[in-house]
Structure 1
């Protein structure tokens, strides 16, 4: 299958039968991303600390949504945190400790591509933590998050919900696409056979951690385009940001030449013009 065919399949799957057209999606996404830039400028000007947690089943569309959220933001002020498997040293720490060091300072936005909720989901279902550690997490997590909110951090939590049939189809497309096959792991494959176990774990997690101070917001994500638009629009609606006036810089006039001569091109090594070989 060619890259063009892969792209067409991804576009059709992302849109869904009753999804947004590409033109309307692109226009609304750009409008919302413009608002995200305004939000970021407000965060920087006011010294706000904003944390956004993205959770959900494998292939639910978290990564692609995070990509759209961060696409036009300043990486110095907005960063994505996607932590790898904990080291042996980190396994001996207080569970929340390695996440605390990634929390934002004033004027920063942090987007958690999976978070401390790994313990309530993957670690619990796959047996990577003990039952006692799981129960301790469910007791401590609400306390931890209340402390964050009480300290002034704006905490937003999104759960991306995908149906079993759509998840399986997205897995199949990843297997077929050599540029996306790396996204699949043995743990991803296990999520198919352990669908109900993950459902029970998610329900239990919501019972303990869906609270007034830090509620969960569910994003229906069978239609990826709608999911991205809905999530970003909701995030913007929950933050009381305002437009921060900033001066528009002016391009300076280029000064007259002082006689500079560029060195001969043959003294430098250039990247070969590969594009010329594929031009029509």
Structure 2
């Protein structure tokens, strides 16, 4: 088994560690080095420790039971649901999505994680390739990143021009208004994580051959762009948090609490039949709310 593990390619081995030890702010290194395994690392996060796994599992089970009701409601009523999952790298998007898909029918609930656009797609209307993946009646689509790539990642790395981004900000409110006006339930979730916690999760990916695939060159290059991401996120909230398509921000320092908040928010938003109010309680307001709850946490990245 050891030989098999060592044969797994790890192209980014040591690069996260190198940046942390040689380029990151000293206060960031100290925060990570001094923390115990289950400590939360954002100084103003309301809980100093992750919730117990047993408590998390006890709270998760009834929410997943409600998901079973939700998917039957989708099929019977032919409702259309879009849930957008956005956030910095390691914020917990995939983990939250997995808590939904592991108990639902992939014919009813599917995940869309679009790769970088092809040459043809780059010459199309920006939203065109996303329109092709929208739900039909009786479906819920979970976007693991979405059209908001243009607002943040593409902008930070120079993959789009300022004019293209400005056009996106001009068009996206109306695009989303048309979706909602046509009867689509649109839920936009932003998972927020501190820089220290992000580094801790990236370090775990770097050293684990079974999770190393989650690292990409974008992750490595993005280590020095924390502030650039922060400014881009702030602009995105300012331009796209609307009455018809609001953002819900969930602080995901503790993945367990964040996953529960995601399910509580989705289940609480959708008017499916036979909802049990005892199971579907509101998300914790200490970690879930409007963009006003977002913690910018600016660091000087030297740019």
Other-structure match for 1:181: 212
Deviation at 1:186, TM superposition (A): 1.3
Q: Give the Cα–Cα distance (whole angstroms) in 2 for the partners of residues 124 and 33 of structure 1.
A: 36
Deviation at 1:14, TM superposition (A): 8.7
Secondary structure of 1:155's match? strand
Q: Is residue 205 of structure 2 the alignment partner of residue 212 of structure 1? A: no
Deviation at 1:243, TM superposition (A): 2.7
Q: 2:129 is matched with which residue: 82, 98, 102?
A: 98
Q: Give the Cα–Cα distance (whole angstroms) in 2 for the partners of residues 13 and 176 of structure 1.
A: 20
Distance 1:148 1:75, change over 3 A: same
Q: Give the Cα–Cα distance (whole angstroms) in 1 for the partners of residues 110 and 94 of structure 2.
A: 13
Other-structure match for 1:193: 224
Other-structure match for 2:16: none
Deviation at 1:70, TM superposition (A): 1.2
Summarize the alignment of residues 1-280 of structure 1 with structure 2, pairs less than 5 Å apart: 12=38, 17-243=48-274
Q: TM-score, normalised by structure 1?
A: 0.81
Q: C-alpha deviations, 1:93-144, integer Å up to 9, x for none?
A: 0000000011001000100000000000110100000110011001100010
Contact map agreement 1:42 1:243 (CA 8 A) in 2: no
Other-structure match for 1:250: none
Aligned residues: 238
Distance 1:121 1:91, change over 3 A: same
Deviation at 1:52, TM superposition (A): 0.1
Secondary structure of 1:76's match? coil
Q: Give the Cα–Cα distance (whole angstroms) in 2 for the partners of residues 211 and 70 of structure 1.
A: 28
Q: Give the Cα–Cα distance (whole angstroms) in 2 for the partners of residues 14 and 41 of structure 1.
A: 37
- Segments of 4+ moved more than 4 angstroms: 13-17
Deviation at 1:13, TM superposition (A): 6.8
Secondary structure of 1:79's match? strand
Deviation at 1:62, TM superposition (A): 0.5
Contact map agreement 2:82 2:135 (CA 8 A) in 1: yes
Structure 2: give runs of 5+ residues left out of the alignment.
Answer: 6-36, 42-46, 276-303
Q: TM-score, normalised by structure 2?
A: 0.75
Q: C-alpha deviations, 1:256-280, integer Å up to 9, x for none?
A: xxxxxxxxxxxxxxxxxxxxxxxxx
Contact map agreement 2:84 2:145 (CA 8 A) in 1: yes
RMSD of the alignment, in Å?
Answer: 2.1
Q: C-alpha deviations, 1:172-214, integer Å up to 9, x for none?
A: 0100110110111111122221001001001101111100101
Q: Give the Cα–Cα distance (whole angstroms) in 2 for the partners of residues 18 and 188 of structure 1.
A: 26
